[in-house]
Amino acid sequence: MSHVVVIGGGPAGSTVATLLRRAGIDVAIYERATFPRAHVGESLLPATLAILDEIGVLDAVAAEGFTVKAGATMAWGNTSEPWSWYFRETNQRYPTSFQVWRPRFDQILLDHSRACGARVYENTPVRRVVFDDDRAIGVELQSGETIIADAVVDASGQQSLIANQKNLKVWDDFFKNLAVYGYFENCDHLDAPDDGNIFIESFEHGWVWKIPLADRRSSVGFVVDRDFGAAEIRKRGVDSFFADQLSATHRTKALIGDAHRTGDLNVTRDWSYVAREMAGPGFTLVGDAACFVDPLFSTGVHLAVSGAHLASALVVTEHDDPDLAAEARTTYERLYRTQYDHFHELARLFYAGNRGVDSYFWETRRITKDDRPPRQAFIRAVSGQAAIGYERSVLAHGELPEALTRAIEEQPAVETKPTPDRPRLADGLELIRTAVLGADRFERGYVVRGREREDVPVSPLIAHLVHRADGSKTLADHIENIARDNGITIDAAAAPLERAAELLTRDNVFV
């Protein structure tokens, strides 16, 4: 049995450990704190819930009594009134999410990992990762003890142990911000149905979040330019700085009113970055250890748990199929960076101009290359849903398990493009053989690849169609030829290939 060390017990570390235990791999988590421990980042996305459900912990999270989050409300741009969006508009399977109290939420996830068989060592800091040439072979604890491992997963959060050790961290030149946040009791919330929403308001020096937590507690934080914030805090102190920013808002100030702040204010700075290398021989970076995007769209936990799904698949692949490991690492980084890049560009869009609401929707569709109506494209993007979502499983696997079939049926109807009679691969795209993400590991397969767009995985059967699609034959001719060459009936080939052609047309692969 392979032995894996996971550094950090937050959402990324606990999720990857749970998934590795399900794959039969021995896992030890080394966490420097003792849970529960304080942490910011309370607002979850619906796409996160799908992963929590997959690892078997969603029921425990739902039973905790966290605030139900229907969407988000913003007072941003050149529109005078706040505007809202709702997850139910694009996701009927998970039409709501949660605003969680992170000390308790993180403990639920870590306890679940422990119950799944992971060995958890709290109050046990890791000093460094031990390398033999370029390969990670274990960790050295703060106590001086060395733990040898077959693989190391760095989920150390913004401590970014491997990225700092190997000088991989690249700070973002665009987002040079500072945040000051704290917690208040007995704040007013937005009116129903927005009373569980995160509220985001822009103002002169930046923007503020207000997250309604359970028991009438609220998380309130200001994000401002780093240099401005640091200079003001040095001059006036953090409490006066926070009060000044609050007085500069309109709606947030009214919601907080005379509410009592509990505890000290916290200051975080320089938080947008990405590692130049997210995986290498024997090591994988995941969650905040790999990258962190400006918190505007509450993407931290989602990148952590979705990245953990990818990281677990990579570790399993390196264990079971070492010959595929290098390609799997490349695919891991490509998939992870695609998520990061989408959220990064969405945040840049909002920081870059004082636009109208419709402009944000249209620009989001351009960034994500999602042909859905602009509002739907925006909501799917800020909810963590992929541009095409579960439907791509049809392309990758030819048919769907029942749960994914149900998920597709629950998606709102989308206007479809007519499938071309003689399909042709769009210019600039090519079919390549590489590592693709399977159910719990990477596998050798096919993707359609082009510049500035996501890879589209396709099954071997559908790869035949993509390979032949040069505009010279009809779809019916292709189906007949593929069925003959693969020794299957035309009826057996027709359903998956016709559905694939429809989806590939919608995804601008076929023209």
pLDDT at 244: 95
Q: Is pLDDT of 414 > 60?
A: no
Q: How far apart are CA 128 and CA 146, in angstroms?
A: 10
Q: Which two tokens stand for residue 114?
A: 């422990």
Q: Check: CB of residue 101 under 8 Å from CB of residue 226.
A: no
Give φ, ψ of 24 to 5 degrees: 85, 20
What is the pLDDT averaged over residues 249-272?
A: 90
Q: Which of 104-108, 207-211, 299-303, 324-328 has the lowest mean pLDDT?
A: 299-303
**Polymer length in residues for the chain:** 511
Select the more confidently predicted residue: 368 or 219.
Answer: 219
Given this model, what pLDDT does residue 377 score?
Answer: 72
Coil, strand or helix: which one is 14?
helix
The pLDDT score that the predictor gives to residue 409 is 41
Q: What percent of the chain has pLDDT over 90?
A: 66
pLDDT bin (cut points 50, 70, 90) of residue 354 is low
pLDDT digits (tens, 9 = 90+) for 129-177: 999 999 999 999 999 999 999 999 999 999 999 999 999 999 988 888 8
Please state the rounded mean pLDDT for residues 484-499.
89
Alpha-carbon span 396 to 204, nearest angstrom: 47
Q: Where in the sequence of the chain do the CATH 3.50.50.60 domains occur? A: 3-45+102-169+276-323
Q: What percent of the chain has pLDDT over 70?
A: 90
39-87 per-position pLDDT tens digit: 999 999 998 999 999 999 999 999 999 999 999 999 887 766 898 989 9
pLDDT the model gives residue 433: 94
CATH architecture of 177-269: 2-Layer Sandwich (3.30)
Q: Say if residue 328's pLDDT is above 80.
A: yes
Q: How far is CA 418 from CA 163, 472, 502, in A?
A: 47, 18, 7
What is the pTM assigned to this prediction?
A: 0.88
List the structure tokens of 500.
């694939």
Quickly list DSSP for 100-140. Answer: --HHHHHHHHHHHHHHTT-EEE-S--EEEEEEETTEEEEEE
* Nearest one of 303, 229, 232, 314 to 273, comparing CA atoms: 303
Q: Where in the chain is the domain with CATH 3.30.9.100?
A: 177-269
Q: What is the mean pLDDT of the segment spanning 271-297?
A: 92
| Contact (Cβ atoms closer than 8 angstroms) between residue 297 and residue 382 | yes
Mean pLDDT of 294-321: 92
Fold adopted by 3-45+102-169+276-323: FAD/NAD(P)-binding domain (3.50.50)
Q: Which of 418, 426, 417 is nearest to 466 (CA)?
A: 426
The predicted pLDDT at position 353 comes to 64
**Calpha distance 495→68 (Å, rounded):** 40
How would residue 355 be classed by pLDDT, with cut points 50, 70 and 90? low
N-terminal to C-terminal alpha carbon distance within the chain = 48
Q: For position 365, what pLDDT does the model report?
A: 66
The alpha carbon of residue 427 and the mean position of all alpha carbons in its chain are separated, in whole angstroms, by: 30
Burial group, residue 71, by CB count within 10 angstroms (0-12, 13-18, 19+) = buried
